[in-house]
């Protein structure tokens, strides 16, 4: 089995077909360097003296049709609402037309649909005007409860919904939260309805096979919300199994298991190219130099991340792979596979290498091709070993079938 690693200059060479070495350049240093190519002609940190007298007013040239309706945030636009920036990028559009684009799901930020006109922009945000409205977000009917007792709940998260609010969103008004609710906001109402008039103890925990929250949010008004403690997360476009703690004690026990890396987590994904079996080891940092997370070769920087990869099936120019996490860092699988030259199909964030243009993704994946299909942990109260498996969702299975047929 090959062993991949991101190592510093003084480290010993690693035996393997691909030894990754990533240059970490903080944004401030990158700006002083003067030239940091990002996605071809886009160079937000450089001093474009020849392109514009004021570097903050420089608008990168668009070199392809795919970037025709894609807009990158300028330094002076940091903190602006997306609606205000769209008015700037789309001259001639009225406020009502801009709001209509948002409410009809024609606007995406970093690949995710945005319906909130008050969403504040960051420098790393990429805003896109979609040719067609994005698919509607999941609701309570799409959330599956796999196990439930007084201490834990295991959920099957559909793609298209965020697990929890990001830090900058926690102060949002309830009206803005309702535009795009998160899983931890929907789940308490579903659980309250399921448990109405019932009692679920630790020994009476119930497994559900594909059970769903059948009632709409409108029909749940007045139902007391159950307490939930998230102990891990899945990305918005990742589907699959999650466990939430329902008591502070259960949260403490589950977090301890995650810290010790004893929780079993298996993912299926579709990656570009011919992926080989191996273990990818690196240290991940929050900013690899272009505002994205990534690996660094700097000693003692970042957090250690380990991903075990096994190819399941070749699909022409793609590979269906199984990933087992030894650690659970943010975006770990996506980063590790991308840095090996095998970005996941449908990945709009890590689909391109650091400071280089992205290779075209011809897979036709409508979302990130990644799903969490296995979850195992020790029950925090009973000590029982709990293990859950699920099949990939329909869109993932259809992608695999289509690539299999086209590759034969």
Residue numbers annotated as active site: 235
| Number of CB atoms found within 10 A of residue 149's CB | 20
Three-class DSSP category at 206: strand
Alpha-carbon radius of gyration of the chain: 22
Half-sphere exposure of 300 (CA within 13 A, CB side): 0
Which are the contacts of 404, defined by CB distance < 8 A and separation ≥ 6? Answer: 313, 315, 316
Q: What is the DSSP letter of 39?
A: T
Three-class DSSP category at 85: helix
Of 237, 62, 216, which Cα lies nearest the Cα of 134? Answer: 237
């Amino acid at each position: 089995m090959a062993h991949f690693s991101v190592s510093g200059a003084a480290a010993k060479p690693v035996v393997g077909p691909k030894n990754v070495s990533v240059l970490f350049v903080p944004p401030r240093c990158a700006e002083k360097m003067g030239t940091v190519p990002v996605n071809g002609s886009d160079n937000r940190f450089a001093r474009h003296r020849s392109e514009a007298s004021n570097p903050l007013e420089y608008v990168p040239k668009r070199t392809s049709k795919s970037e025709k309706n894609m807009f990158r945030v300028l330094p002076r636009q940091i903190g602006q609402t997306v609606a205000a920036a769209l008015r700037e990028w789309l001259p001639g559009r009225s406020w009502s037309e801009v709001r209509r684009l948002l409410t009809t799901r024609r606007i995406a930020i970093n690949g995710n649909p945005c319906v909130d006109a008050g969403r504040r922009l960051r420098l790393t945000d990429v805003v896109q005007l979609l040719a067609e409205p994005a698919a509607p977000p999941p609701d309570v009917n799409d959330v599956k409860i796999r196990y439930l007792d007084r201490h834990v709940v295991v959920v099957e998260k559909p793609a298209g919904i965020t697990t929890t609010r990001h830090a900058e969103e926690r102060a949002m008004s309830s009206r803005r939260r309702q535009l795009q609710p998160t899983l931890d906001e929907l789940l308490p109402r579903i659980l309250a309805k399921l448990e109405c008039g019932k009692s679920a103890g630790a020994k009476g925990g119930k497994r559900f096979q594909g059970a769903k929250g059948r009632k709409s949010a409108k029909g749940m008004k007045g139902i007391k919300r159950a307490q939930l403690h998230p102990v891990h997360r899945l990305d918005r476009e990742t589907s699959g199994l999650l466990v939430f703690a329902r008591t502070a004690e259960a949260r403490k026990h589950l977090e301890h298991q995650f810290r010790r890396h004893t929780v079993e987590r298996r993912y299926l994904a579709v990656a570009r190219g011919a992926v080989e079996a191996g273990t990818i080891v690196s240290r991940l940092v929050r900013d690899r130099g272009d505002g994205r997370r990534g690996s660094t070769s700097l000693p003692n920087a970042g957090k250690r991340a380990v991903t075990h990869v096994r190819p399941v099936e070749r699909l022409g120019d793609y590979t269906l792979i199984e990933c087992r996490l030894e650690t659970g860092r943010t975006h770990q699988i996506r980063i590790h596979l991308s840095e090996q030259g095998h970005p996941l199909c449908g990945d709009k964030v890590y689909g391109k290498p650091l400071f280089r243009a992205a290779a075209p993704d011809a897979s036709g994946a409508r979302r990130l091709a990644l799903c969490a299909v296995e979850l195992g942990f020790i029950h925090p109260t009973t000590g029982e070993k709990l293990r859950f498996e699920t099949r990939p969702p329909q869109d993932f299975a259809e992608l695999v079938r289509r690539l299999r047929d086209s590759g034969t």
